[in-house]
Structure 1
Amino acid sequence: MPLTFCTIGEIFTVKRLGGDNVVKQHLNELGFSVGTPVTVVASLGGNVIVKVKESRIALDRKLACRIMV
């Protein structure tokens, strides 16, 4: 399921990254890789704030939909 549909406060594991190679590289640089645990901290209109590798990152809806958990 896409990251935008995750429950706030629950820990999920990244299963797959979507998009072209540029998008996948950008997500990897932000800390999102297959097997990495992520937690949704807040969500508003599909935009999310997630905790990944002890950092909090804000993602827009389009980018968050490319992260499958």
Structure 2
Amino acid sequence: MRDAALLAVWIIGLFTLIGGVMAAVVRFVNKDTSAYDKQLTWAHFPQAQDRPHEGTSETVQEDRRG
């Protein structure tokens, strides 16, 4: 019984450690990608920052009309 409890503690600890590392990697990639986009992509399209973020912008309506 003691061995089963020890195994359960090790498994829970291992998955907690793996989950923490995965969360840190996801957070790092998300922040790094956003910083890259702001620095290199959005700098070339300043008018895109001023545009409203709604789905009914003029360009979307023109595309739907054909």
Whether these two folds match at TM > 0.5 is no
Choose between structure 1 and 2 for higher RCO, CA contacts under 8 A separated by at least 6 residues. 1
Larger Rg: 2
What TM-score comes out, normalization by structure 1 length? 0.21
What TM-score comes out, normalization by structure 2 length? 0.22
